[in-house]
Structure 1
């Protein structure tokens, strides 16, 4: 079973790009008129190195917000076959010469049939990093680590996190978008204190709705610093409405670390599954 929307137009080649960026200087991933974005920079660099009259549009695995970083972002672009034949062995190096230093493309290769950077993904993994050191954040890490001016109990944060795992309606932790579902399958949510003292959260789900990770982190920090019990985030989740006590933490502590895809033979099946709108009945089943 397949979907014609994932067929590459005749005479074109679908190319997978693996990239990373420091989000501090960008107004997010998505191209916006008059604003500097990751998509805008990469598409313009592609246009220049391929000497194309118009830009080639990118499709991305995760449309990160302003200020959010990425280490393992994935995108795809459809290029004319003759352009790919000319560029395939040197595209990464040529993009390095055109892209600004806060975004890098590490790999460019022909994608398998039915690959779609967005819909083929089976999960995305983010990390959020926090320092509760009374002196603040190491100046060399300040652009990637949030300072929380209260001691954090990592065990309490993990206790609360376990209650949020599974497929639920995360409306209480998402900024609603017209026509978009807030049902998500949260597969991993855990915290650890690294040897350098930084508290690092790992969040993995099939997909995320707008502000979901930063809202979850905000709720769990309230548990970690003792302002709320470990049962509180799950109670907020069950209410399915935004709680004014849940703060959306600042974006600079958040990094998209990895995007996973199924075996090539299952790409078309995964695309259909990802496009199917989930319901509360699905979440309960």
Structure 2
């Protein structure tokens, strides 16, 4: 995966949002509706092309997960970009309604939507009022049927932050590292709605990581586990059957951050390095 477009092509950065409830995740699948498939189909239609221009995304979201701040890139032939640059956004807006591309611009040199990213920030929203979740929010807020202790959840969260091996909270992929730097994990409760929101920020996430972290936090919040339990699971580095992966609809990708333009290429090289923890053996 190159960090520069091939000669004769222009790398275009796309900033987009989507409601994930009717999609089988981001990644294109043969027989299912996906965000990537929708956008690639729309690009093919609005550029009147017989070629599918493939997208590279900052982070693949699972089925049912939403996004406010997703970022992707696509390499378009220079002639196609010159012809459609000014009208591309308006044409895409009329073509797909559950996906919104807010910005389409020529990317700076060295930009790679996936590997140049410094961090991704997610929010997970939970309601614990006995009467359930506001019907107008139900597609974006999980209802938990027990009262949640915010202080206990934040006590547990503080023990998880830092560079760690998150194997206990990830769905393992062959050959992929599970070492991540969790930069933020913190809960707040809205005083009016009562909805609790977790901010979860890391340099990268592995499959199911956010929803597994939230599942562990809810068990602490409702008193079924002590505050130290999520960190104990983390230290074990194996999947714990007691960790519940919560439903996807409460999760939204809020923002992806990138370094200054002159640092994009170096960041992409750094992100490709296979990480090990200090003191870990090489073999």
- Sort the TM-score into its range (normalised by shorter chain): over 0.9
Q: CA deviation at 1:282?
A: 7.4
Q: CA deviation at 1:87?
A: 1.1
**Is 1:118 the equivalent of 2:121?**
no
Match of 2:100 among 85, 104, 113: 104
CA distance in structure 2 between the partners assigned to 1:144 and 1:43 by the alignment:
26
Identify the residue that residue 56 of structure 1 maps to in structure 2: 53
Q: With the length of structure 2 as denominator, give the TM-score of the two structures.
A: 0.97
**Is 1:169 the equivalent of 2:165?**
yes
Q: In structure 2, the residue corresponding to 1:6 is in which secondary structure?
A: coil
Q: In structure 1, the residue corresponding to 2:2 is in which secondary structure?
A: helix
Written as runs of structure 1 = structure 2, the 5 A alignment for 1:1-285 is 5-99=2-96, 101-195=97-191, 196-281=193-278
Q: CA deviation at 1:23?
A: 0.5
Q: CA deviation at 1:256?
A: 0.2
Q: 1:5 to 1:282 in 2, by over 3 A?
A: farther
CA contact (8 A) 1:169 1:283 kept: no
CA contact (8 A) 1:120 1:271 kept: yes
Q: Gaps (5+ residues) in structure 2?
A: none
Q: CA deviation at 1:102?
A: 1.1
CA distance in structure 2 between the partners assigned to 1:7 and 1:92 by the alignment:
23
CA distance in structure 2 between the partners assigned to 1:25 and 1:107 by the alignment:
23
Q: In structure 2, the residue corresponding to 1:157 is in which secondary structure?
A: helix
CA distance in structure 1 between the partners assigned to 2:279 and 2:23 by the alignment:
36
CA contact (8 A) 1:183 1:283 kept: no
CA contact (8 A) 2:54 2:74 kept: yes
Deviation track 1:69-111 (CA, whole Å, cap 9, x = no partner) reads 0000000000011111111111110101111x21111100000
- Where does structure 1 differ by over 6 angstroms across 4 or more consecutive aligned residues? none
CA distance in structure 2 between the partners assigned to 1:82 and 1:158 by the alignment:
52
Q: Gaps (5+ residues) in structure 1?
A: none
CA distance in structure 2 between the partners assigned to 1:250 and 1:277 by the alignment:
30
Q: CA deviation at 1:7?
A: 2.0
Deviation track 1:131-156 (CA, whole Å, cap 9, x = no partner) reads 00000011111110000000000011
CA distance in structure 1 between the partners assigned to 2:41 and 2:210 by the alignment:
30
Aligned residues: 280
| CA RMSD, 1 decimal | 1.2
Q: 1:265 to 1:189 in 2, by over 3 A?
A: same
CA contact (8 A) 2:4 2:11 kept: no
